Amino acid sequence: MIPEEAAAQRFGHFAPRPMPIRPMPAPRPLPPPRPLPPPGPRPIPPHPYPYVRPYPVPFHPYPVPFPYAYHPFVPYVWGPTWYPVGFFLATLTTAAIVISVENTNYNYDDGVYYVKESSGYKVVPAPLGATISSLPSGYSTITVSGTEYYYYGGTYYAKDTSKYKVVNAPVGAVVTHLPEGAEEKTIDDQKYMIYNNVYYQPISKDGQDSYVVVQGK
């Protein structure tokens, strides 16, 4: 043994050996891109336990002391300032006021209720609970079971101290006119008119074509 190597081995010192150089592995190919989903909402897979929706509320008309008498429906207009539900106006008159019902603001003008939209005002059904200080011109008074109601443009009002409040259509109320937007539906071979979720049966009262409320909301 060479003396230098013997001394290095004795004291734990060794000359460094050159490390072998390994070739770098080739890069793996990238996976192909996933196809994009088709545009539109993603279809919802069927649930293993589908929810059975309840049947709609059955129609049970309230018995009224008026025989069924069909007559063609003719929409009624309550005057030049009255507009049907869905009608759109760019501006309102200066007489319009703001009515708040359940934290929602409505604009009211002469028997018609509006909601504000980006470019104007849209006619909506009268909100239940809304109160006005005076009734619009052209209203009619209806008595049902000893209680007086006031009808105008498909809306029913009841006296509330010194004001008038929008209420549900009372069953048994007889009106001579329905507004534009009422729809005809045949049930058990009889035709009914439906307006604002209220069912009306066509009748003839005192020789005049009329409608009686047989089922409310």
Calculate the alpha carbon distances from 62 to 190, 199, 211 in Å: 14, 10, 13
Q: Which two tokens stand for residue 25?
A: 């592995």
Tell me the one-letter amino acid at 30: L
DSSP state of 56: P
Q: Are 215 and 61 in contact (CB under 8 A)?
A: yes
**pLDDT, mean of each 10-residue run, the chain (217 residues):** 55 62 76 73 52 46 82 93 94 95 94 94 96 96 96 96 95 95 90 92 93 87
Q: What's the confidence (pLDDT) of residue 8?
A: 53
**129's tokens:** 């609970």
E-state strands within 81-189: 88-89, 97-101, 104-109, 112-117, 120-124, 131-132, 140-144, 147-152, 155-160, 163-167, 174-175, 183-187
Rg (the chain; Cα; Å): 39
The domain limits of the chain are 87-215
